[in-house]
Amino acid sequence: MSLMLAILIVTIALFIWGKFTPDIIALLSMLSLFLFGILDLTETLSGFSNPTVIMIAALFIIGEGLSQTGWTALAGKKFIKMAGKSTTKLLLITTLGSGLLSGVVSNTGTVATLMPVTISSAWSIGTLPSKLLMPVAFGSNTGGLLTLTGTPPNIIVNNTMLESGLEGFSFFEFALIGLPLLLIALLYFRFIGYRLLPNNKTNNKPVDISTTLHKWIEAYKVDGDYYRLRVRSVSPLLNTKLGDWNFEKEFNVSILRIKRRHPNRLKGNDPFIEFPTNSTEFLYHDIITVKGDTEAINALMIKFRLGLLPLEPIEDELKNNLINQEVGMAEVLVTPNSVLVGRKIRLGNFFKRFGVQLMAASRNSTPFTEREIRIKAGDAFLIRGIWSDIDQLKSYHENLVICGSPEGMAKTVTNLTSKSYIALFALVLMIVLLVFKIVPGAVAALISAGIVLISGCVPITKAYKGISWISVVMIAAMIPMGIALQKTGTAELIANGLVNTLGSLHPVVLLAGVFLLTTSFSQVINNSATAVLMAPIVIIAANTLNISAAPFMIVVAISASTAFLTPVGTTTNAMVMTAGGYKFMDYLKVGAPLLLLFLITTLLLVPLIWPF
């Protein structure tokens, strides 16, 4: 037992030190348990087949699906729009929004989605990001308590209950305490917390998609080059193919996109042809987005008897009609050492190799329209293509550099597509399966994640990138620690200590002790690791006193999500630290009163909702 205690103390010390990532520390701890003979091989590796770990990995994929298809960005922008120009409204809506979103999307994903729009809105209404970002982080931590899948500690305590032969919690049962706590957080920030938040000046005015498009319009002078034309019944284009005509050579016009007016009546035709090819057929009432100068467009309209349709303002036209979750735009620069420098190439043909369209070109901030140029270092090109194809240009990094983050910009697009509704259906299906207990939780999450992947809502490569592998591996490697604590009797020793010192006074006193011990751990080590450590201890303590374990396990879940005192307690706290210019003491000053309120609320409500 002394060896077990030594490994436990060293593990906690390493988490607090922060020199190594949590997954490395957990793996070292797991290996130590095996090498010192405390666990056998099966027990050591049991975490990697644990349903909790599989479910959490699947939830990351589902969350990535909602993010990639526009739901989280749309929700974030709706929250901001509701606030108008009021700082108080913005504070409440972003805090409430982060809480509600984190009930279905990971806390990290919620903050990652809301942080850019929160920063942008803070600057736009004349306040500072530091007055809003910490409430967003704390709101996301609290909102995870709304559902069973809202945060990993909820899943961990529920599975521990089931593995101990006890009845688990229902999907929305956590909301019985989660909603009051979220309300407490809102009231706290409205009347107290806002005054404690620092006024930190930061240089982080974000460049959002609208700003980026405006910059491109100015740099490449694209505002006069785009037109929408309609194929009339008398047009010679009708029922011909794009390859039958040489628009670029004869008219100096590029065909960018075709919208079918009546796609449902035309078997096999999609409503949009984002990248027309030579085999693309022109049909009656097609709306063609083209690029070319006014004289060329006039000649095209006369020869092919095409109708001219009005455009939206060019920024809206680009954002609403030429960019979506699948198709985007990016700026590409030629590097000084590029093999392209000095070569004479036809620009359109060169970029077609990569499956992208050339929208505009510029040299020394001066747009040029030549189709064939001799490349110089620093030449800039505006391209349009499928996001994954644009991203593939990174493999050509020695010759071309992509400016900004196409993948990040893709997540800011709020236009919903058919895949958006598939991703939403996958989430709703998982909730239904969990609420009615049709299949185990891990299976429900895997089914929904499978729908997201098979439907293409998230490409496989991006799905794997969307999983926080540090969290997944850390949880899997820490589960054997819980087994070892029980196997060696260490959990029983700690539990007996709690029972003898606090349990003999009153169960509520023991409840307070569990809360304080768990929240102390959560300030310095990952909340999932905290839940894994505390869950078996609490189960034994409750069994020793012959009282229900449910209230104590709920408190473990709550207090594991109350890392309000330090920037290292959760990833979300760390994410907003630099953006808000926060210091360590800012978390302590703002978080301590909120933590006290959570403790009081928990001790008052939990025994009423889940009696001893």
Mean pLDDT, each 10-residue run in order, the chain (612 residues): 84 78 86 92 88 80 80 71 81 89 75 70 79 92 89 89 89 93 95 90 60 71 79 90 87 86 56 86 90 86 89 68 75 85 77 81 79 84 82 73 65 73 89 81 88 88 77 80 78 74 81 90 78 87 89 94 81 74 86 96 94 88
* 341 within domain boundaries: yes
pLDDT at site 209:
62
Contact 423, 456 (CB under 8 A): no
Residue keyed to tokens 């959760």: 570
Contact 371, 432 (CB under 8 A): no
pLDDT at site 490:
77
- Residue 219 burial (10 A CB sphere; 0-12, 13-18, 19+): middle
What is the chain's alpha carbon radius of gyration, rounded to the nearest angstrom? 28
Residues 193 and 214 in one domain: no
103 vs 109: CA distance, rounded Å:
11
Q: Minimal CA–CA distance to 494: which of 474, 472, 521, 467? A: 521
- Residue 236 to residues 286, 300, 301, 508: CA-CA distances in angstroms? 13, 11, 11, 83
Q: How far is CA 317 from the centre of its chain?
A: 27
Please give the residue range of the domain that contains residue 402. Answer: 327-410
Residues 382 and 442 in one domain: no
Residues 62 and 187 in one domain: yes
201 vs 37: CA distance, rounded Å:
54
Residues 218 and 292 in one domain: yes
Residues 298 and 403 in one domain: no
Contact 113, 76 (CB under 8 A): yes
499 vs 506: CA distance, rounded Å:
10
* 588 within domain boundaries: no
Question: Which of residues 295, 321, 347 is at a domain's end?
Answer: 321
- Residues paired with 344 in a beta bridge: 374
Residues 67 and 126 in one domain: yes
Backbone angle region of 324, left / alpha / beta, with phi > 0 → left and psi within -120 to 50 → alpha: beta
Residue keyed to tokens 């809202």: 150
Measured at the alpha carbon of residue 110, what is the angle toward residues 109 and 115, in degrees to the nearest 5?
Answer: 105
Contact 355, 326 (CB under 8 A): no
pLDDT at site 208:
56
Question: Which of residues 410, 445, 478 is at a domain's end?
Answer: 410
Residues 222 and 282 in one domain: yes
* 532 within domain boundaries: no
DSSP per position, 37-75: TSS-HHHHTGGGG-HHHHHHHHHHHHHHHHHHTTHHHHH
* 406 within domain boundaries: yes
* 552 within domain boundaries: no
- Tokens, residue 187: 């009231």
- Tokens, residue 75: 């929700």
Question: Which of residues 410, 439, 455 is at a domain's end?
Answer: 410
Helix or strand run (H / E) with residue 373: strand 372-374
Residues 396 and 455 in one domain: no
DSSP per position, 187-254: HHIIIIIHHHS-----------HHHHHHHHHHHHTGGGSEEEEEE-TT-TTTT-BGGGS-HHHHH--E
Domains in the chain: how many in total? 3
Residues 191 and 260 in one domain: no
Q: How far is CA 574 from the centre of its chain?
A: 15
Contacts 24+ apart (CB under 8 A), 489-496: 489/1, 490/1, 490/4, 490/5, 490/8, 491/536, 491/537, 491/540, 492/540, 493/1, 494/537, 495/537, 495/538, 495/540, 495/541, 495/544, 496/541, 496/544
359 vs 290: CA distance, rounded Å:
10
pLDDT at site 391:
74
Residues 191 and 226 in one domain: no
* 475 within domain boundaries: no
| Four-CA torsion 63, 66, 70, 74, nearest 10 degrees | -80
161 vs 167: CA distance, rounded Å:
6
pTM passes above 0.85: no
Residues 332 and 310 in one domain: no
* 606 within domain boundaries: no
Residues 247 and 374 in one domain: no
For 336-381, write each residue's pLDDT tens digit: 888 888 888 776 677 777 788 888 888 887 887 677 788 888 888 8
* 349 within domain boundaries: yes
Task: Provide the CATH number for the domain around residue 256.
Answer: 3.30.70.1450
261 SS3 class: coil
Task: Give the sign of the dihedral formed by CA 319, CA 325, CA 326, CA 331.
Answer: positive
For 29-44, write each residue's pLDDT tens digit: 899 999 999 999 999 9
- Residue 218 burial (10 A CB sphere; 0-12, 13-18, 19+): exposed
pLDDT at site 183:
95
